[in-house]
Chain A
Amino acid sequence: MSEILLINLSILILFLPLAGFGVVILFGKRFSKLYLFEQGIITLAFILSVIVAVVKLSSYVNQDILFAFTWIDFGNVPMLGELKIDLGIKLDNLTVIMLFVVNLISMLVHHYSVEYMKGDAKYNRYFAYLGIFTFSMLGIVLTDNILMMYIFWELVGLSSYLLIGFWFEKDSASDAGKKAFIVNRVGDIGMFIGILILFATYQTFSFDAIYEKISMGIIPFDSGAWLTAAGILLFMGAVGKSAQFPLHVWLPDAMEGPTPVSALIHAATMVAAGVYLVARIFVMLTADAMLVIAVVGAFTSFIAASIALTQNDIKKVLAYSTVSQLGYMIMSLGVGAYAFAFFHLVTHAFFKACLFLGSGSVIHAMHHEQDIQKMGGLRRKMPLTYLSFLISTLAISGIPLTSGFLSKDGILAGTLAFGSLTGHWLIPIFGFTVAMMTAFYMFRLVILTFHGEPTDKHKFDHAHESPRLMVYPLVLLAVLSIFIWYTPNPLAPNQGWFLSSWVKTPQTVVPQDLRFEFMQSTETGTGIVHSEMYEHAMHWAHYPAMILSVILAGLGILLAFMMYQWKKISPDKFAEKVKPLYNLSLNKWYIDEIYQSTFINGTLILSNFLAWFDNTIIDGIVNGSATVTRLFSRISGWFDNYVVDGFVNFTAFFSGFIGLSFRRIQTGKVQTYIVFVIFSVLILIILL
């Protein structure tokens, strides 16, 4: 298959969902079955994307396929010469894999939603929205330049807004949609400024062209700080979209949307766009920028995981776990474990989508009950859902033989290596902590939902396995969470085709003095060889990381079973017990104390605090700043009304006053007039 055909196919893949959107939104009202059109289209897109992926990964695995066209031609611009804004698409391995992932999950969600959304008044419109989302997401994936990425970035924001607020009759839903859009915009502004920096320097938006110029030593405004700033600012976009601290607050709220949407957008694809972005700009990140990214990712994953420990809403737990996992990926990129980050992105997409769809299945069965405290014992009623959910849980917890184990282990090894090379040990510590917490809260979720005895008899009795159309995506995704799709050796991800031939860490273009020493890599004829130092560190970290993560995950699972299955430890009593410890931790070793209590006794109490922290402080800051902004805008509204306007009115008043004083002379008495005349004559004579 020729390159041109590949390009054309991918353009077709891109626009198919848009066509679906257009048709359904325009005529959906008249033809109630029109959603089937959208279904067909997305299935077609999926098939095409499989073809594209297979062809690309088999025939062109080491070759990028590019296509660009001029979007805006500014002609011969003074001082700059020819200036054009080119848009285009680039098919590299990353792209086609993402193409496959996005289309697959999108298709599954489409199918799943047919049953899940049945009976909704805006049935057709829902599918239209899914269509535009898929279109936007594919755009992000396919682009070869940062501007187009931004365009689709925002479109994704729009579709997310529409889908979160799909049930806009609920105030909470419309609030959540708005919040998502606005919080994302905060990040987008940073990203946009980053884009501006790049364009101002290089007069191009194309990734490749920019990197080429950086590698030639041209950096923004001749200052390494600006290059760092550009990296961090672009990363801000990812902070928003991938719900990183401190902008992660929108994602839990976004669970107000329909559950399949959460699966598609807020778990598998859109939120991963941030990670995808960082992967795209990975080569231009300076050491400082990478450190910032790593720290943010680590901190996010930690905070989110700790919150997830105590949530009772099945979707909230999954949401925080998503944030946490995204933090993982970001962290991984920050520490230079590029390939593993992307690997995790893919594996996570599958198992998290599966988890969400599973939770949707449960919610569907329980008549929209989302509180896990009110569930229990469901495995008997819905075995397929349970099974797939369990596999995905194992994957997310990083248990061997799952895909999650492979990718997570790589990330953890990457952080460990990073720690050993740079001394930033905090990052791996975060990483491993989160691994354990993840295992714990995920199993807590599984146990409370599927094991034990039902707490709500009535709802339990009515529960049943979901229809086939809803179950088959679960099963498929669960199957994809098994190691075998990625590597033949369940313990060595590096040996798999995914990492050995498809996704490789690219060569950084950042000037020597601005990058980490270990990022030194050389390009040979066959590919990129990392610096010996880095290879060594990775090698050293591989097994400790693997063993440690498995032990920790096991511990977490064990703890969860102890607490919720076997009830050896009462969660409530446990929380009571660690309260004083937490108070102690408020002293000088604030963060250390938190870590300590995490590891030793007080996981639950700490998480309580963090839940509060999240709900009160962080959310409060966003809400609070909204309040302050609103207050300020009131003030300026007042200023406008009274001061600026007042000035104008004062002028009018003043003129009136002058007029009045002139009137006063006009007494009507002719003799007074004459007196005035005589005096003015005298004055004039004296004056002149």
Chain B
Amino acid sequence: MDLNSLYTSFNYIAPEITIAVALIMIVIFDLIFDKNKKIIPYIAYLGIFSALFFVAANFNLTGTNYKVSSLNESMGMISTDTFGSFFKILILVSSALIIFFSKTSEEIKKTFERAGEYYALIFGMILGMMFMVTASDLILIYLSVELLSLSSYVLAGFTKLRDRNAEASLKYLIYGAVASGLMLFGISLVYGMVGSTNLAALNNYLQLPLANVLTFTAAAVLIFAGIGYKISAAPFHFWTPDVYEGAPISITAYLSVASKAAGFALLIRLIRIGFVRFIDGDGNWHISGIFDWQSFIIIISILTMTLGNFSALWQNNLKRMLAYSSIAHAGYILLGVAVLSNHGLMAVMVYFFIYMIMNIGAFFVVMLIADKTGSEDIDDYNGMGYRTPLLGVALTVFLISLTGLPPTGGFIAKLYLFIALVDANLIFVAVIALLNSVVSLYYYVRVLKHMYLTRSDKDDLLFEISLSNKFFVTGLAALILLLGIYFTPLLDLVKNVSFFTL
């Protein structure tokens, strides 16, 4: 590998390099400006936007890279393709939003002297996620998952303000370690059978019916355990509510969006590159018969959304409720994966994009309110719609969108999902999903009920929020409404990005 080829290959990981550089810059600046940390978020912005620039610039770049020497040409460590780029954009945009989020959050402000640490860890997460969405080798997959995990363990307990931070951190750690251990064990089994950790090699291997079904099933389930933990799919979701509740709210929002997106990208790439034997003209994925991904994911997803929705019914802590709701949404998105077609993939990406906006929006409003009232308890939301009309309306929009009612983006997301399901003849599943969304209505609307229908004695206590926050919230809410009415650009984007490098 000469310098020249090194230079050409730079394009493939330019965003990752940018992020890494930014990470280092943050650490350095943290050391230099010991007292004044104000600059650090701006470095973070800089890093993210430069990375975004590189992603956008190389959006249509495809190819695999960083081969292990013994393997043939098409088996690199990473696959650069539009699919990956889309998720990178998703991750970077949500990171940018989260950085704004963090700047505002009182929790983070209170530990501002450690801002360098905080942003460095976030960048660690970003880096891990960026690799997750492009990795096409099990080793790199494992490494990137670990990179993401290790950073997020710390972030979950970052603020140290309350007992629950530390507890969240510990639970996340132990759970995560076990899950990644399971995944690793699964990977080792796959390696034993295939003889390589490369997904393309796995695909080649599966073209022939050679594998031991039991071992292979075990391996697949174990690997899924690792991914399932990242996307908090039942029954690997147990950490989610506890950690989401315990972690600082900015991190909760981040985990619920970006790290989930990375997990999904990983899962999709795993299936798409590792297991798909061929794709027919209609875009349906024909999966190697050894492992029935479709039934498996459907079972998991039904379990996930049902559990998420029904558990959310009883939550009085809004953060915890949103945690369960994000579990439920993972269930819906999994259905899109279960369709196993380009169509389903499109639905997943649409869903994710909208989910990112509405979920971050919802968490942001909850954060702003919690910062003022010091509580995330639903009873403290009584009359909130009158105390802070803007936040009330915005939260209403986000929650309605999460329910999936028109004219919000959430509806479009669900619509495309159901379109994919119906198209694949999974009507029964679609019905279950629809019924689930009716159940979900109940707990989302419950919040609205508390905000508007229940009066409290503090009704007159109006509270002010800063102009930038107003803009942020209004912008997100407007975007959600806009996406509900005019979503052509999003679809345009999405339909172009389902290209994979094999």
Contacts and interface: CB of A to CB of B under 8 A. Distances in A.
A681 B222 contact: yes
B231 to A, nearest CB: 14
Given A656-B313, A688-B292, A688-B296, A674 B175 contact: yes
B382 interface: no
A670 B291 contact: no
Given A655-B439, A662-B310, A670 B174 contact: yes
A666 B313 contact: no
Interface string B165-185: 000001100110011001000
A77 interface: no
A1 interface: no
A11 interface: no
A687 B314 CA distance: 31
Nearest to B296: A688
A609 interface: no
Given A668-B242, A670-B171, A684-B221, A658 B296 contact: no
6 contacts: A662-B311, A663-B314, A666-B241, A670-B170, A670-B174, A681-B182
A409 B427 CA distance: 81
B236 interface: yes
A584 interface: no
A659 interface: yes
A659 B311 contact: yes
A676 interface: yes
Contacts of A673: 171, 175, 238-239
Contact of B314 (A652, A660, A665): A660
Contacts of B225: 677, 681
Contacts of B475: none
A670 B239 contact: yes
Nearest to A665: B238
A63 interface: no
A662 B306 CA distance: 10
A676 B171 contact: no
B415 to A, nearest CB: 24
A680 interface: yes
A5 interface: no
Closest CB pairs A-B (n = 5): A673-B238, A680-B235, A659-B310, A659-B313, A662-B311
B217 interface: yes
Interface string B264-292: 00000000000000000000000000011
A681 B314 contact: no
A677 B221 CA distance: 11
Interface in A627-675: 652, 655-656, 658-660, 662-663, 665-666, 668, 670, 673-674
Contacts of A677: 178-179, 182, 225, 235-236, 238
Contacts of A659: 310-314
Contact of B175 (A665, A670, A688): A670
B128 to A, nearest CB: 22
B357 interface: no
B242 A685 contact: no
B356 interface: no
B218 interface: yes
A676 B313 contact: no
Given A655-B439, A680-B236, A688-B291, 10 more contacts: A659-B314, A666-B238, A670-B238, A674-B175, A676-B238, A681-B222, A681-B225, A684-B296, A685-B218, A688-B217
A680 B234 CA distance: 9
B261 interface: no
B461 to A, nearest CB: 33
Contacts of A688: 217, 221, 291-292, 295-296
A659 B307 CA distance: 7
Contacts of B312: 659
Contacts of A676: 235, 238
A680 B182 CA distance: 13
A662 B240 CA distance: 14
Contacts of A658: 306, 310
A677 B175 CA distance: 10
Contacts of A674: 174-175, 178
A648 to B, nearest CB: 12
Contact residues on A (Cβ < 8 Å of other chain), bracket:
20 to 34
Interface of A: 652, 655-656, 658-660, 662-663, 665-666, 668, 670, 673-674, 676-677, 680-681, 684-685, 687-688
Nearest to A652: B442
A662 B307 contact: yes
Interface in B30-57: none
Contacts of A663: 311, 314
A406 B242 CA distance: 102
Nearest to A688: B217
A663 B309 CA distance: 11
A665 B240 CA distance: 13
Contacts of B291: 688
Nearest to A680: B235
Given A676-B235, A677-B179, A681-B221, A666 B174 contact: no
Nearest to A654: B310
A666 B221 CA distance: 23
A684 B170 CA distance: 27
A42 B312 CA distance: 75
Interface string B421-460: 0000000000000000001001000000000000000000
A672 B235 CA distance: 12
A670 B175 CA distance: 7
A665 B241 CA distance: 12
Contacts of A666: 238, 241-242, 311
A673 B236 CA distance: 8
Interface in B156-202: 170-171, 174-175, 178-179, 182
B242 A655 contact: no
Nearest to A660: B314
A678 to B, nearest CB: 8
B112 to A, nearest CB: 30
Nearest to A684: B221
Nearest to B293: A688
A670 B153 CA distance: 14
A660 B306 CA distance: 13
Contacts of B292: 688
A666 to B, nearest CB: 6
Nearest to B306: A658
Contact of B217 (A655, A660, A680, A685): A685
Contacts of B214: 685
Nearest to A679: B235
Interface string B303-342: 0001100111110000000000000000000000000000
A379 B195 CA distance: 130
B84 to A, nearest CB: 28
Given A670-B174, A674-B174, A656 B221 contact: no
Contacts of B307: 662
B319 to A, nearest CB: 15
Interface string B335-371: 0000000000000000000000000000000000000
B381 to A, nearest CB: 20
Contacts of B235: 676-677, 680
A272 B295 CA distance: 79
Contacts of B222: 681
A477 B178 CA distance: 110
A656 B175 contact: no
B323 to A, nearest CB: 11
A686 to B, nearest CB: 9
Contacts of A684: 221, 296, 299
B310 A655 contact: yes
Nearest to B242: A668
Contacts of B242: 666, 668
Nearest to A662: B311
A652 to B, nearest CB: 8
A169 B221 CA distance: 83
Nearest to B220: A688
A673 B295 CA distance: 24
Contacts of A665: 238
